[in-house]
Structures are given as structure tokens and as C-alpha cells.
Chain A
Amino acid sequence: MSDEPVFVPLRRLGGMIRAGAVSPVQLAETFLHRLETLGPRYNAVVTLTRERAMDQARRAERELAAGRDLGPLHGIPYGAKDLLATSGGIPTSWGAAPLKDQRFDEDATVIRKLEAAGAVLCAKLAMVELAGGMGYRQPHASFTGPGINPWNLDAWSGGSSSGSGSAVSAGLVPFAIGSETWGSILGPAGYCGIAGLRPSYGRVSRHGAMALCWTLDKLGPIALTADDCGIVLDAIAGPDAADSTTTAQPFHYAGGDAAPRRFRFGVLENVRAGCDEAVRANFEASLEVLRRIGTVEEVRLPDLPWEFITRTILHVEAGSAFEELIESGAIAGLTAPEDHYTAYARDAILAKDYMKALRLRRVMAREADAVLSRYDALVAPGRPSVAPPLDRDFRSALGGSAPDVMGAVGNGAGLPAVIVPNGFGDRGLPTSLQLMGRAWEENTILAAARAYQSLTDWHHRHPRLERG
């Protein structure tokens, strides 16, 4: 590692600023340079926001010098997934070629909240076109090219928050904002060997974010550690009159040096089904670590069509959200060939079946909470495999049959989850561990993830950027 303040967790980076070891302007220059020079290697960046970054960094420097400290993100650079609206003529492409020059007059609420916390926006980061809502099946699904994994340049970074994952993993930004409808935060974070937090639905305002699925979309942080995710969530959470789904429940991150506690972990039966051998082995090793800080029990959910429930809701709402693009045939201008037509099949979902999925979602929420009420978190492999190769249909690469009950239930019921690295598998690529909690229990799962990370060192490992 060089002398650059790269791969430094947020608390330590903030401490370096306050100790005078580095200034906000120096930090901004460092990360803008890395985004500019290394970003293209990973297809991570859509737009460098240099002018805005330097304005914000200079302001942070003045404020801190004057004794006005806005908190742990003051003067810290970050990147935002390119589905978050930004003012000032900065494009917001949604990853889609037909929209690459799209501009908005205002900032998304998350962007405004981070500005209020003193964070410095350095880049709009690459993403799968329309957040993957048109049914892409392989990594070449963005006009900026496939997201490339810093651990192995022949592997995908994951989607749909592709650039958010690779940029944090490669040390191009200290943290990033991603979005998840089903897997789009946990996927890239897991594949890239970093931490990601999917907050409870309604915890973070989505005002100004591209809508893929109104009842499933969440925004959240991707960062180096679970603690970093908590710090960022503290800044972006909270009610917003512009997003009626936001909860009035306040969120204050309870990080830091809390007294050690014991946790109760549950493991869903069959959660290892379809997983790679290395993923299984690393998961079993993770369970051994978790047994040092709590209890681990196997549990089961009732046999219901969890994935069909969430998928039906997602496909119908995405079909409506992008009705104009689909009906007009403009989806033929998207990058992935399968995105040109896959959405047409969703016209075949009948209204009564969609309504059945919505009714079953209540059953899903009730059953999931009944299980989770006995535990602090359900734990599972973060992904069933390491990141697939760039040139492969990833459904084939995953065997096409790995079930994702945790993802279906977690997203369908709007539950929070955090993902952290837990080892390495094939082709030198990271594997991961996810912890999912009851609604509004971000502090609980973050505490458990912090405890896990205090006993492991996977989060201290970073890709050698010259590696091919």
C-alpha cells in the first residue's frame, strides 16, 4: 500500500483530516485522480464531478478550519450510483444509452443529505442499464461497458450497482451509494470483497432516484467495513416529505466501542443449496467465528413460492415504471441484446396474479418476522458463487438454479441486510457472508457484522491493482 490515504476506513480517515495529516482538498484530488486514471480499467465511472467536488472540498476545509465540524463524513469523498439525480448540469444516465445525456434540475435527497453532512461528491458511478430492470442475463449491459472486478479483470463486478462496488473495492472512493431492488447492493459488494448495507424499505428517501420498482427499491451504502456502512446510513436515513414511503422512525447509528454482547444467529435450511464448494467452506468457517460471539441454529421457513412473489411484484412494477420505453420500442437502444425484448413477456402477468403476489407479501412479511423475532440475524452465504466471468451468461455461470430465498424474502418484506467478505474462492475472487435482520434493526445486524469483522481480517485485504 502506498502513502496515499486509500483503503482507510471512515473513522480513521476523519481522524487523519482532523489531525491535519490530510486535508479535504488533498483527499478530493487523490480520489479524483484515482477515478480518472484507474476508473476506466473497471468501467466504474460515468461522470467525474471534479468541479463540484473541489467546491465541496474547499468548503469543507474552510468549515473545519473555522471549527464547524459536520461529523464523520465532513470532507470525505464519495461516489453515487448514476441513478441519483444531480443538479448543475451533471448527467444522470440510469446506465442506459438512450438516456446518457439526461439531466435533472435538483439533487436527489440522498445527495442533499450527504452534502449537508459535508461529504464530497467525486463521481457518478456506472450501473447496469435501468438497474437491471429489463432482464439482463450477462455483464455487458451498460453503455459504459461491463463492470469489471478489481480482484480479477476477467470477472464481473456484479450488478446493478457495478461501479459502486468496483470503485470502493479498488480504492477509487472511500464509500459509495448504491441501490437495491433485489441484490443490487449485496451483489456487487459481495463479489468485490467489501461491505454493503441494504437498509429497511423506507429507511432512506428515494426522492430523485430512478424508480425501478416502487415497493422494492432501497438506497444504501457500499463501503470498506460494516462500521463505515453504519456511519453513512446515519447521514442518509430519515423521513422525507418528498418520499411518502420513508419512515418517521429516527435512525441513529449505534457504532463505536459498545460493550461486547452475545448474538443469536439463525441459518435457513437449504441456504447452502446451489453454492460453490469454496462458498460453502467459507460459510462453515464463518459460522465457527459466529459461534464465538453467539449461538447458531438451523431454522426453516414455511414452503411458499418466495421468489415468485417478489419476482412478480418486481416485473409488474418495472413494466409500469418503464412503460414508455417498452411500449415505444426504445428498449431496442439498450446495450444488452436481451434487454431489447425480455420485458415484453411481462405483459403476460395477469392482474389477479400480481394481486395474489401482493397479498402473499403480507404472509411473507409475517412469516419472516416470526422467524427473525427469535434471532438477531439470519445468516447465509452472501452470493452462491464468486463473481462470474465477464463473457458468460451469469445465470448459466451460477448453474441457473441457485435459489435466493434470502434475497426474495429480504427484499420482498423490506428487511435490512449487511454483507461482508468472508474469504476467497475460485480465480482469486472474494466470497461473502450476509446477515439479515428484522425490519428497522440495522443497528443489530451492523453490531453483529462489526463483531464478525473484529475477529477476521478479510476486510483488510485489498486487490493488487496491477493484477490482471
Chain B
Amino acid sequence: MEESGLGSNEVDRLFAMVAERYGARLTPAQLEDVRKGIEAVVTGARALRAVKLANSDEPMQPFVPFRAD
């Protein structure tokens, strides 16, 4: 992964958050794999963020108001 500037900081910060939550139950090797997973997450997120959408581009959620009767 290309790591520089904001991307690297983002990986570090997200990794710190995940390590704080789960680090106590993981070995150093597992933690290193988790870090690689977070690098992949950030790579994907940056690809998604790079696509411009219009304000009107909404998700395809099938949410409908509910009433029981």
C-alpha cells in the first residue's frame, strides 16, 4: 500500500483504536496482521472517498415506516 501523509496517520490512529479494544487478546504477529487489514480498509476508504457524488445520490435502502395494524 502507498503510505504517506494523511493516509499513514489515518492507519496509525485507526490501528491504535483497534489495538486498544482488542490488543490484549492478540499476539504481536496477529496485531501486525490486523494492521495490514486496517491498511486495506484505509485504501478502500480512500478509493470510495475519491468518487464524487451529488447531494441527491442516496442509498438504496428499502426503509419504510412501520405500524403493526
Contacts and interface: CB of A to CB of B under 8 A. Distances in A.
Interface in B41-69: 41-45, 47-51, 53, 57-62
How would you classify the secondary structure of chain B's contact residues: helix, strand, loop or mixed? Answer: helix
Interface stretch (A24-32, A348-356, A446-454): A348-356
A345 B48 contact: no
A93 B48 CA distance: 36
Contacts of A329: 22, 25
Nearest to A355: B59
Contacts of B22: 329, 341, 344, 347
Given A338-B33, A341-B30, A346-B41, A245 B49 contact: no
A308 B60 CA distance: 17
Contacts of B17: 347-348
A347 B26 CA distance: 15
Contact of B18 (A135, A315, A347): A347
A59 interface: no
B48 A305 contact: yes
Interface in A335-367: 338, 340-342, 344-350, 353, 355-363, 365
Nearest to A349: B41
A361 B59 CA distance: 7
A345 B41 contact: yes
From B22, B35, B51, name the one whose CB has the most chain A CB atoms within 10 angstroms. Answer: B51
Contacts of A332: 25
Contact of B59 (A245, A341, A350, A358): A358
SS class of chain A's interface: helix, strand, loop or mixed?
Answer: helix
A192 interface: no
Contacts of B47: 305, 308
Nearest to B22: A344
Contact of B34 (A311, A341, A359): A341
Nearest to A345: B37
B37 A353 contact: no
Nearest to B42: A348
Nearest to A338: B33
B45 A341 contact: no
Contacts of B42: 348
A250 B26 CA distance: 50
Given A309-B48, A353-B48, A347 B21 contact: yes
Interface residues of A, number: 34
Interface string A294-332: 000000000011001101100100000000000001001
Contact of B33 (A342, A356, A365): A342
A37 to B, nearest CB: 40
B58 A308 contact: no
Most B C-beta atoms less than 10 A away, residue of A341, A357, A360, A365 = A341
Nearest to B15: A348
A365 B60 contact: yes
Given A338-B33, A341-B30, A348-B38, A311 B59 contact: no
B25 to A, nearest CB: 5
Contacts of A305: 44, 47-48, 50-51
Given A305-B44, A332-B25, A358 B61 contact: yes
Contacts of B60: 358, 361-362, 365
B38 A360 contact: no
B67 to A, nearest CB: 14
B37 A342 contact: yes
Contacts of A350: 45
Which 4 A-B residue pairs are closest in the complex by CB-CB distance?
A: A345-B37, A358-B59, A305-B47, A348-B14
13 contacts: A245-B62, A305-B47, A308-B47, A311-B44, A332-B25, A341-B34, A344-B18, A345-B36, A348-B15, A348-B42, A353-B49, A358-B60, A359-B53
